[in-house]
Structure 1
């Protein structure tokens, strides 16, 4: 019979499979980023690490020489950080530079302040920003950071999510990991509803416009839940909510990620590595 220890080990292993660790503070150095990347790349490797664009070249061209295992994780460059006030042109150039340096994915912060000040104008700015950045990102993954904890009200969160989807986002991310409030179940609920309704509208558009060529379908879109440095138990609650809101088929890396800080990554690693099978017998009950 499964014990509490087994459940914890299973949970930590599952979360590690979808985990992205953030190293985005102003105080990051090559040394601190290297330390994060090395733990991220340990077996079982997590999805990747989110860093400022200035560190992408260091990871891809220097760190991999001394720590070749780091080549196996994704490097996501966070652009328009930390304020979210860049123009589409400047943010696109930032993304281009990060991609040339070896970034696998781009994480783009919206102008949440403008969204709070003037929702209609904020929506237009989100659509334009996301569409312009997506042009340079191309087939690679573009995550759009909604900063749900900073947006003032559920309606604004929902409208920001829809605007990002209409601009071409591949992932909707709850928050940046830098604010006072990270993911909440309310934000995840609103984003999930926005995504489901968008998918329904897009499928209907494809049907009405007669786009019936073989393979025509709405693009794959995912949700990244940024939890900061909460503990494993709280993070597991978000995993269960994701399954409840979007179904078990949403729990694949193309549709689901969990973002968090270095302390949470260490907690997940410690829990996973504490597993000791000595004395555990198989369940032979009928």
Structure 2
């Protein structure tokens, strides 16, 4: 793939993300405006739960989904609290839920896998038909065996996507972790997607992840239903390659 092909392929796979402490109604409006460009729209915006209603109003009719995060970023909340977060987000109009699995339980061993599984099963039930992306925090798990175990737990608990990272720990997405997780997606026995998130900022790096997905899951597997990039700055890089600076405005909704 040349860089133009990579950019064209990547843009509709993007979960345009803003999870900053300083986010507000104005930054949310700006994020939603950027999501619809002159060369197409991104897959979703991903933002804090409190901004879901605004984003939903802003993006109605655009084809852009609204995603939010729960049990974020530490993955340490009790299941009942996370279930409540999910219920509130769905009531506010969220289409997709990115839930941090209790990855510390995986790292602890001694029954931790089952504790993580029970937690995610409760989240799955709360999500209903909404897309559930499970964040493994692969940078914290670090060891290939732990990443593989976390992926297996998430798949068994009903994850629709395996996602690498929150972006809140020093190590984000890596190709090594992606290989393990994509292999788990391929071998799941049902449709499970993959989301690379954390530190992907340029088109060339995006191309490396697409090539890896093609290698492991097949050249026709990647689509917005099966593959996402979670990023903020990547969109500007894509638009630069595609020769599109300005974005098309949409109703702000605040």
Distance 1:274 1:95 in 2: 36
Greater helix content = 1
Q: Deviations over 1:17-47 (max 9, x none)?
A: 2111111122211111221111112230010
Q: Alpha carbons of 1:274 and 1:136: their partners in 2 closer, same or farther (altered >3 Å)?
A: closer
The alpha carbon displacement at 1:274 in A equals 5.0
Distance 1:8 1:129 in 2: 41
Structure 1 unaligned blocks of 5 or more? 1-5, 200-217, 276-286
Q: Deviations over 1:128-158 (max 9, x none)?
A: 1211111121112100000001114111110
Q: Residue 56 of structure 1 contacts residue 77 of structure 1 at CA under 8 Å; is this kept in 2?
A: yes
Distance 1:144 1:158 in 2: 13
Distance 1:97 1:13 in 2: 35
Indicate the residue corresponding to 1:196 in structure 2. Answer: 186
1:152-191 mapped onto 2 (5 Å cutoff): 152-191=142-181
2:172 counterpart SS class:
coil
1:18 matched to 2:13? The reply is yes
Distance 1:132 1:24 in 2: 24
The alpha carbon displacement at 1:168 in A equals 0.7
Q: Alpha carbons of 1:274 and 1:96: their partners in 2 closer, same or farther (altered >3 Å)?
A: closer
1:241 counterpart SS class:
helix
Q: Decide which moves more: 19-28 or 167-176.
A: 19-28
Q: Residue 161 of structure 1 contacts residue 191 of structure 1 at CA under 8 Å; is this kept in 2?
A: yes
TM-score for the superposition, normalised by structure 2: 0.89
Q: Deviations over 1:76-122 (max 9, x none)?
A: 01111121111111101101100010101100001223322x12433
2:126 counterpart SS class:
helix
Structure showing greater Rg: 1
Q: Alpha carbons of 1:11 and 1:238: their partners in 2 closer, same or farther (altered >3 Å)?
A: same
Distance 1:248 1:239 in 2: 9
1:149 matched to 2:167? The reply is no
Distance 1:254 1:120 in 2: 35
1:225 counterpart SS class:
strand
2:242 counterpart SS class:
helix
Q: Alpha carbons of 1:120 and 1:188: their partners in 2 closer, same or farther (altered >3 Å)?
A: farther
Q: Residue 200 of structure 2 contacts residue 206 of structure 2 at CA under 8 Å; is this kept in 1?
A: no
Q: Alpha carbons of 1:183 and 1:152: their partners in 2 closer, same or farther (altered >3 Å)?
A: closer
1:58 matched to 2:29? The reply is no
Structure 2 unaligned blocks of 5 or more? 246-254
Indicate the residue corresponding to 2:27 in structure 1. Answer: 32
Q: Deviations over 1:196-239 (max 9, x none)?
A: 3432xxxxxxxxxxxxxxxxxx3x21111114342111111111
Distance 1:115 1:55 in 2: 31
Distance 1:89 1:135 in 2: 12
Indicate the residue corresponding to 2:227 in structure 1. Answer: 256
Pairwise CA RMSD of aligned residues? Answer: 1.9
TM-score for the superposition, normalised by structure 1: 0.80
Count of matched residue positions in the alignment of Structure 1 and Structure 2: 244
The alpha carbon displacement at 1:74 in A equals 0.5
Indicate the residue corresponding to 2:249 in structure 1. Answer: none
